[in-house]
Amino acid sequence: MINIVLFGKPGAGKGTQAEFLKEKYKLTHLSTGDIFRFNIKNETELGKLAQTFIDKGDLVPDEVTIKMLQSEVEKNPNSAGFLFDGFPRTIAQAQALDAFLGTKKEVITATIALEADDEILVARLLERGKTSGRADDQDEDKIRNRYQEYNEKTAPLMGYYKEQGKFYAVDGIGSIQEITERLSSVIDNL
């Protein structure tokens, strides 16, 4: 089983690349954003709980997010592996994910970061914001704030996975096909 964590700042192309990787390697794509939206829309017990925090403007606690991910993993017992997109975002979340996978006799195989210059990513998101309808892709200050949050909270995860020998950086600039080939090269050599 291959379990991959896909990292990258907003606009780095995680969602686009996840689509190709899940098909090529027959992985179950677990996007925390998609999982949250599904649970909230369908008013699941966890969705209702998450909504109470969101309504107050608070971050959803790790334990709720982990339970949602665990539920998705449980729904896919015959998966060839999982592609985690948007999770973990902190070392505490990574440790919780490791502990959960350990109960399944599984581990994170690799973490791959799509790296790109902030200025290129800001331009990408502003362009995406013209058609996506996402307010957070239309305001440069909000975009830069998301990058600062990424640097403060998510970037330390790189050290966590480097210590385990599971961290790989991939150049996230180029054509979609070029980036897919770079990612595939890493995965094929695991």
Q: What is the count of structural domains for the chain?
A: 1
- Give the CATH number, domain containing residue 82: 3.40.50.300
Residue 142 lies in domain = 2-184
Residue 139 lies in a domain: yes
Residue 113 lies in a domain: yes
Annotated binding site for ATP: 11-16, 128, 174
Annotated binding site for AMP: 32, 37, 58-60, 86-89, 93, 134, 146
Annotated binding site: 11-16, 32, 37, 58-60, 86-89, 93, 128, 134, 146, 174
Whether the full predicted model's pTM is greater than 0.85, yes or no, is yes
Residue 190 lies in a domain: no
| Averaged pLDDT score across all residues of the chain | 91
Residue 135 lies in a domain: yes
Residue 189 lies in a domain: no
Residue 44 lies in a domain: yes
The H or E element containing residue 143 is helix 140-149
Task: Give 94-103 pLDDT, tens digit per residue.
Answer: 999 999 999 9
Task: Give 108-131 pLDDT, tens digit per residue.
Answer: 999 999 999 999 999 999 998 899
